[in-house]
């Protein structure tokens, strides 16, 4: 039987299903940042504001159920996303928001924002019961196709140095490690590899063809 999914923009009503998938994309990083990460992620996703709001996400849906999520960001979005995140933090964390902002600044040195020529892929999460069914590949392909259509030169992402399975998947899809950074503060946060995908005219055609084949596997 064909395993079919539909990709669509996320909605506020997806928050209950989507927030756990966002959390599984980087639990150690998110727990360090927010403390009560699962609860905050649901609140922020539902609000639609900031880097964790539903407006940044695409979801993969199967038979009416959200089974995967991915977020995208560009340099042009940085101010709007930061302001939205601070709004969410002040509403949810109140005075605790200031500690989150401090920890966020530390994380931003480990995982810096994208350059103007780059579309950034983040917070990729797939439901455990459909892993191995190319849901993640389909979501990645959607980001790559969008980046190519909008004229970006690169797609970039960060992956924990401890997550070799994800690194191998990204490498199969054409991503290459551009740099690696170690965590220099207290807290159980893994180092990160910045991986990039070249979308120059010369590289784009065979890459998109390979991604299309991967998404059908």
User: Does residue 95 lie within any of the structural domains?
Assistant: yes
**What is the pLDDT confidence band of residue 149, given thresholds at 50, 70 and 90?**
very high
User: Does residue 208 lie within any of the structural domains?
Assistant: yes
Domain count, the chain: 1
Statement: residue 61 has pLDDT above 70? yes
Rounded to the nearest integer, the mean pLDDT of the chain is: 90
Q: Compute the C-alpha angle 38/40/44, nearest 5°.
A: 120
User: Does residue 113 lie within any of the structural domains?
Assistant: yes
User: Does residue 1 lie within any of the structural domains?
Assistant: no
Query: Which tokens hold the place of 76?
Result: 């042009």
For residues 106-116, average pLDDT: 92
**CATH code: domain of residue 205:** 3.40.630.30
| Lowest mean pLDDT segment, chosen from 40-54, 154-168, 192-206 | 192-206
Percent of the chain exceeding pLDDT 90 equals 71
Side-by-side strand order, sheet with 192-198? 6-9, 57-62, 65-74, 118-126, 154-160, 192-198, 176-181
How many whole angstroms separate alpha carbon 97 and alpha carbon 61? 33
User: Does residue 116 lie within any of the structural domains?
Assistant: yes
- φ/ψ of 56, rounded to 5, equals -90, -5
User: Does residue 199 lie within any of the structural domains?
Assistant: yes
Task: Give the per-residue pLDDT at 217.
Answer: 40
Q: How far is CA 168 from CA 36, 75, 160, 161, 217, in A?
A: 30, 27, 12, 11, 16
| Lowest mean pLDDT segment, chosen from 99-108, 178-187, 197-206 | 197-206
Give every CB contact of residue 60 below 8 A, 6+ residues apart in sequence. 5, 6, 7, 66, 67, 68, 69, 126, 135, 138, 139
Task: Give the per-residue pLDDT at 2.
Answer: 64
For residues 137-148, average pLDDT: 95
User: Does residue 200 lie within any of the structural domains?
Assistant: yes
Statement: residue 190 has pLDDT above 90? yes
DSSP state of 70: E
* More confident call, 69 vs 216: 69
Q: How far is CA 30 from CA 23, 38, 168, in A?
A: 7, 9, 23
Range of the domain at 24: 6-215
């Amino acid at each position: 039987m064909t395993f079919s999914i539909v990709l669509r923009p996320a909605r506020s009503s997806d928050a209950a299903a989507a927030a756990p998938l966002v959390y599984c994309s980087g639990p150690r990083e998110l727990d360090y940042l927010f403390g009560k990460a699962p609860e905050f992620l649901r609140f922020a996703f539902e609000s639609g504001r900031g880097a964790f709001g539903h407006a940044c996400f695409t979801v993969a849906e199967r038979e009416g159920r959200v089974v995967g999520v991915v977020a995208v960001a560009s340099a042009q979005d940085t101010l709007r996303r930061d302001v939205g995140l601070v709004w969410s933090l002040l509403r949810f964390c109140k005075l605790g928001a200031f500690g989150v902002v401090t920890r966020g600044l530390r994380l931003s040195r480990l995982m810096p924002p994208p350059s103007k020529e780059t579309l950034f892929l983040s917070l990729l999460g797939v439901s455990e019961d459909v892993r191995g069914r190319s849901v993640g590949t389909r979501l990645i392909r959607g980001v790559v196709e969008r980046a190519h259509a909008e004229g970006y030169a690169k797609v970039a992402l960060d992956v924990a140095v401890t997550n070799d399975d994800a690194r191998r998947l990204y490498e199969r899809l054409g991503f290459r490690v551009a740099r690696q950074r170690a965590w220099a503060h207290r807290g159980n946060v893994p180092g990160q590899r910045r991986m990039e995908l070249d979308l120059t005219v010369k590289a784009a055609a065979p890459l998109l063809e390979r991604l299309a084949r991967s998404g059908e596997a």
